[in-house]
Amino acid sequence: MVTMTALEEELSRIAGAVLDPEMPVLTLEELGVMRGVHVTGPGRVEVSLTPTYTGCPAIEAMSSDIERALHEHGVPDVSVVTVLAPAWSTDDISEEGRRKLAEFGIAPPRPQGPAGGPVPLTLAIRCPHCGSTDTELLSRFSSTACKALRRCTACREPFDHFKEL
Amino acid sequence: MSTPGTREATVPTAAALALGDDALILSHRLGEWAGSAPVLEEEVALANIALDLLGQARVLLSLAGDEDELAYLREERSFRNAQLVEQPNGDFAHTIARQLYFSTYQRLLYGQLATGDGPFAGLAAKAVKEIAYHQDHAEHWTLRLGDGTPESHERMQRACDALWRYTGELFQPVDGLDLDHAAMESAWLDSVTAVLDKATLTVPTGPRTGAWAAGAGRQGLHTESFGRMLAEMQHLHRSHPGATW
């Protein structure tokens, strides 16, 4: 069993290193959507993945990318299952993930804490281009379900904000 | 895509269909705005909301059977969505009024479902966070239109009045959902009243229940425009069975 666990850890590292299809600077591990890797038999692996949003179409690309990565590593039989509970939250994005998002031009989500209360949309969000906190909301919905569209009033650039969930 | 780990032997099919059909049909209606919304940001917003709803519909319909068969091969009388969600988009105010009424209801409903440990708890806990954004979107637009120009005020009022009679059905008991519908309805009325008041709109006085109210969608009776919507939604799958990307 010890070797199995070591194998699972190794496979987990490989699956977790797959890049997000929409934000290809972020790994699935950093995004916090990996829920587990289990060796269920010889050459057979089951990966659990949770979607950011219930209807996120990227989950299918993620699944096939994970399958490909593990195939290339010599696992012939890979199945990816989607789990909804416990629900993913933007708090599941790692510190490194947040840093990469900002570098990529997407303002990272603000920490939410445990309570699921109203979303404080009026707190300052930093412009990923010039660093100003003087930004305004253009639309709560943007290029993908997980982002809102904002504009920096200092440098005038529009930018995406990974909105809190 | 596989269904979530919350699948249990005793999924109440009637409830999964009712909630799944609500999400599917409203998603399709919102999708009809693609290419014709008043501004680009709204097109993106409505499409995003539609996508969230479609995701919910896929999970719920998969609990009841094969999602594609249920969505594309059922006849009108087999759909169990409330009549509110099938109402045509109308002008933008109608779409917003429909969103306000539905998202307020759905947030309360999923909020209750999320607290239990039933077959819908996992989905509800996740979806309720998405719905908070839908409700926020609807409330903001209700305020802007209601407290906007005389023209926008009049149209928003007209939309709220027209859809009011469809809102009683949302609180009819659904087989397999053990919820306090009366408490949900009173919370819904409080919430909607507060938004309409703030938007300088009048809370409609027409009947929400009884003989003059609308609503038998949960029993499979639908309004005139629903058949046309279904024809468009199901056409591709029925004309080209098994078609894939």
Domains in chain A: ranges and CATH: 2-82 (3.30.300.130), 93-162 (no CATH)
Which pLDDT score, from 0 to 100, does residue B8 have? 44
CATH class, domain B13-239, is: mainly alpha
Which pLDDT score, from 0 to 100, does residue B6 have? 43
pLDDT of B152 above 90? yes
Which pLDDT score, from 0 to 100, does residue B88 have? 97
Q: How many CB pairs under 8 A join A and B?
A: 95
b/e B87-108 (16+ beta carbons within 10 angstroms → b): bebbebbbbbbbbbbbbbbbbb
Are B125 and A82 an interchain contact pair (Cβ–Cβ within 8 Å)?
Answer: no
For chain B, give the mean pLDDT: 92
Q: A19 at the B interface (CB within 8 A)?
A: no
Both tokens assigned to B232? 């468009």
B29-68 residues touching A, CB cutoff 8 A: 41-42, 44-45, 47-49, 51-56, 58-59
Q: B13 at the A interface (CB within 8 A)?
A: no
Which pLDDT score, from 0 to 100, does residue A55 have? 87
Q: Which region among B100-104, B166-170, B241-245 has the lowest average model confidence (pLDDT)?
A: B241-245
Min distance B50 CA to chain A CA atoms (Å): 9
Closest by CA to A125, choosing from A142, A109, A114, A146, is A109
Which pLDDT score, from 0 to 100, does residue B11 have? 76
Which pLDDT score, from 0 to 100, does residue B164 have? 96
Give the distance, in angstroms, between the CA of residue B209 and the centroid of all CA atoms in the same chain.
18
In angstroms, the CA B149 to CA B93 distance is: 13
**Partners of residue B24 in chain A, C-beta under 8 Å:** none
For chain A, give the mean pLDDT: 88
Are A119 and B133 an interchain contact pair (Cβ–Cβ within 8 Å)?
Answer: yes
DSSP track, B40-99: HHHHHHHHHHHHHHHHHHHHHHHHHS-HHHHHHS--GGG----HHHHS---SHHHHHHHH
Write the CA distances from A88 to B227, B231, B243, integer angstroms.
37, 36, 32
Which pLDDT score, from 0 to 100, does residue B7 have? 44
Q: What ipTM score was computed for the predicted complex, to two decimals? A: 0.82
Residue of chain B with shortest Cα separation from A59: B1
CA angle, residues A159, A161, A163, in degrees to nearest 5? 160
Which pLDDT score, from 0 to 100, does residue B3 have? 46
Q: A119 at the B interface (CB within 8 A)?
A: yes
pLDDT, mean of residues B43-59: 95
B150-179 residues touching A, CB cutoff 8 A: none
pLDDT, mean of residues B94-107: 98
In angstroms, the CA A97 to CA A105 distance is: 13
Q: B130 at the A interface (CB within 8 A)?
A: yes
Residue A21 three-state SS: coil
Write the CA distances from A20 to A16, A53, A151, B36, integer angstroms.
10, 14, 25, 31
Give the distance, in angstroms, between the CA of residue A129 and the centroid of all CA atoms in the same chain.
21
pLDDT above 70 as % of chain B: 96
Q: B70 at the A interface (CB within 8 A)?
A: no
**What digits encode the pLDDT tens for the residues A100-140?**
999 999 999 988 765 555 555 456 889 999 999 999 998 88
**What digits encode the pLDDT tens for the residues A54-92?**
988 889 999 999 999 999 999 999 999 999 989 999 999
Q: Which region among B27-31, B69-73, B204-208 has the lowest average model confidence (pLDDT)?
A: B204-208
Are A141 and B137 an interchain contact pair (Cβ–Cβ within 8 Å)?
Answer: yes
pLDDT of B9 above 70? no
Residue of chain B with shortest Cα separation from A86: B122
- Domain boundaries along the sequence of chain B: 13-239
Are A57 and B4 an interchain contact pair (Cβ–Cβ within 8 Å)?
Answer: no
The answer to whether the CB of A141 falls within 8 A of the CB of B41 is yes
Both tokens assigned to B157? 């009022």
Q: B191 at the A interface (CB within 8 A)?
A: no
pLDDT, mean of residues B105-123: 94
The answer to whether the CB of A152 falls within 8 A of the CB of A127 is yes
pLDDT, mean of residues B26-32: 97
Which pLDDT score, from 0 to 100, does residue A11 have? 93
Q: Which of B3, B51, B123 to mutate to test the interface with A (most CBs of A within 10 A)?
A: B51
Residue of chain B with shortest Cα separation from A50: B4
**Partners of residue B127 in chain A, C-beta under 8 Å:** 54
